[in-house]
Structure 1
Amino acid sequence: MKALQGIEGRVEWVDASPLACSPGQIRIKVAAAGLNRADLLQRDGLYPPPPGASPYIGLECAGVVAEVGEGAAWNVGDKVCALLAGGGMAEEVVVDARHAFPVPDGLTLHEAAAIPEVYCTAWLNLFELAGLQRGQKVLLHAGASGVGSAGIQLCRAMGNPVWVSVGSAERLAYCESLGAEGGALRKVDLESLRDFAPFDVILDPVGAPYASLDVDLLGMDGRWVLIGLMGGRKAELDLAKILGKRIQLIGSTLRSRDADFKATLIGDMRERVWPLFADRQLKPQLERTFAAEDVSAAFEALASNTVSGKVVVVIDGDLH
């Protein structure tokens, strides 16, 4: 089969040997795979897969179950999307059966490929780790990103007013169309976020440049969830403010979590989040699809920081 590999800052489809489908696993014939910033890092050799994970690129996919291992609660022919530690950009993938979701009614496989990574990340960090309660205020940095657009919709559905930081007026309007109350442009007037503070939770994939401001924007018992370092890794902070406000700093990554943790997360989401797709409170924000032969262009589109929502690569155009 063909799978996508990062090679010295570029991507290339290479021949790969299909894995055996062991007990508790399913084999998915992949229709499409979502593209994430972690994939850009892996392409550049900066984010290797965790031990035991596929060496190929791709943290989520959607497709059709082609084989079911003993004890797995799926049937051949089921349409699924799956959270992966790697290997989603391939013609086939073998995954722990507990890490798959049924494709929500009314969605295509291309749309479903845009769901698992960003919705799992947003739900885990906002509602499980940060413990958001109805009515508490949220700030999402990079609000027009895949995780940001998922987070806005989840906050709206759960009764949490949410503000964003974004890179352009057009992206701010996009976030407001999803349910954001407002926000600020990062290169224009990020300090204007003070007008909306204090926040109970800040979800931050940027890191160092926003760190001091995040501390100022959080209220008492605020939770600052750091999920990325797009802007840098070193910052100078006034620790007295963190102490005085009883701020919790939560560092979080999902990819390296163990299989049981992910299975529990996905089980919770199937119960609490998946019904929101059925009643259209949540909708995957698929901005662009690229054919497999145009995968390099897909990576460049995401790297341009102009995408609002998600980019998906179509692996098998005959599966919808």
Structure 2
Amino acid sequence: MKAILYHEPGDESQLYLSEVSDPVPGPYSVLLHVAATALNRADLLQREGKYPVPAGANPIMGLEVAGTVIELGEKVTGFEIGDNVCALVNGGGYAQRIAVDHRMLLKLPERLSFTKAAAIPEVFLTAFQALHWIARLQADDTVLIHAGASGVGTAAIQLVRLAGAVPIVTASAHKHQAVTDLGAARCIDYTAEDFAEAVQDFTAGKGANVILDFVGGPYLQQNLEAAAIDARIVSLAALGGARVEAFSMAPFLRKRVQLTGTTMRSRTDEYRQRLTADFRERIWPGFADGSLQAVVDTIYDWEEVAAAHRYMASNANVGKIVLTIGLD
């Protein structure tokens, strides 16, 4: 089969298509023909040599796929050859075929295309984990979502609304209409406003009960200022830098703030399977009845992967960037 590899860590010019060995499914896995995958920030970091592949993970880029089951392991239950599915995977998405444990699969409803389905697993499972498993989201919570127009951000807005809570987002001004259409109650232009002041003003001084952060160190002090009493801050990335030069511990103590860091790829297979099962039961039906939607910004053929990586690096997208995978 073919897969997208890179010659050595560097920019997108290092990417190329190459022949690689076909995967062999184990007893609990299925073999998928991959119709589409989607870009994630981790792909760019891995290509640049800044995101080491965890031990045992597939070294090929791509953390989510949509495709068709073409082979079954002997202990697979609940799926048949010909089923159209999507899944969160631990690498290997930028390839024509992939072996996936059947406990990670989500069967596609008829209304969901491969390109839409490929845009769901990583961002929705990440947002679901952060909001429900870590932050214990409650109805009527106010949730501050940084990078609200990103893949995880657009997923989080919808999950917050679905739970009966109120989403506030930070995003560039030209993306505000798109995130408002998804359900954001307040859009903050982080380039022109102090987001902590904006949150406190919107909530009449109560602050945000939950904060999803991707920026890291530079936002810590403002996140504490924006936080409510007993707030839960979930840190999903440190795109702005991991170091904190100086900040006051007082808000942590006075507001009883909880700060939790998490990454999905370092989780165990068993954890991801349990998370997927909970998501399948509680959230997945929303994609069949239309209450939830995959947000796809742009679709590229995988031969245009370098252009897709450049586009993601520009931060111009709202939602996901999808690659369609070529046939043999």
TM over 0.5: yes
**Aligned residue pair count:** 317
Query: d(CA) in 2 for partners of 1:5 and 1:164?
Result: 35
SS in 2 for 1:171: helix
Structure 1, unaligned runs of 5 or more: none
CA apart distance, 1:159: 0.4
Letter in 2 for 1:199: A
Query: d(CA) in 1 for partners of 2:102 and 2:265?
Result: 17
SS in 1 for 2:272: helix
**What are the superposed Cα offsets for residues 18-61 of structure 1, whole Å, 9 maximum, x if unpaired?**
12111001111000001111111111011122111111100001
- C-alpha contact 2:39 2:322 (8 A) present in aligned 1: yes
State the match for 2:222 in structure 1: 213
Q: Are 1:60 and 2:74 counterparts?
A: no
CA apart distance, 1:170: 2.1
State the match for 2:309 in structure 1: 299
Q: Are 1:193 and 2:199 counterparts?
A: yes
Letter in 2 for 1:26: V
**What are the superposed Cα offsets for residues 81-133 of structure 1, whole Å, 9 maximum, x if unpaired?**
01011010100011111111111330111110000000000000011111001
Which 4+ runs in 1 deviate beyond 6 A? none
State the match for 2:162 in structure 1: 157
Query: d(CA) in 1 for partners of 2:313 and 2:112?
Result: 26
State the match for 1:95 in structure 2: 100
- C-alpha contact 2:96 2:327 (8 A) present in aligned 1: no
- C-alpha contact 1:5 1:55 (8 A) present in aligned 2: no
CA apart distance, 1:5: 2.0
Q: Are 1:262 and 2:272 counterparts?
A: yes
Letter in 1 for 2:127: A
- C-alpha contact 1:104 1:274 (8 A) present in aligned 2: no
State the match for 2:109 in structure 1: 104
Query: d(CA) in 2 for partners of 1:45 and 1:66?
Result: 33
**What are the superposed Cα offsets for residues 110-158 of structure 1, whole Å, 9 maximum, x if unpaired?**
1100000000000000111110011111000000000000000111111
SS in 1 for 2:161: helix
Q: TM-score, normalised by structure 2?
A: 0.94
CA apart distance, 1:317: 6.8
Q: 1:68-217 residue pairs with structure 2 within 5 A?
A: 68-73=72-77, 74-167=79-172, 169-191=173-195, 192-197=198-203, 198-217=207-226
Q: Percent identity?
A: 42
Query: d(CA) in 2 for partners of 1:254 and 1:172?
Result: 28
SS in 2 for 1:270: helix
Query: d(CA) in 1 for partners of 2:280 and 2:51?
Result: 29
- C-alpha contact 2:296 2:322 (8 A) present in aligned 1: yes
**What are the superposed Cα offsets for residues 256-297 of structure 1, whole Å, 9 maximum, x if unpaired?**
111110110000011000111111110000111001110100
What is the Cα-based RMSD across aligned positions, in Å? 1.3
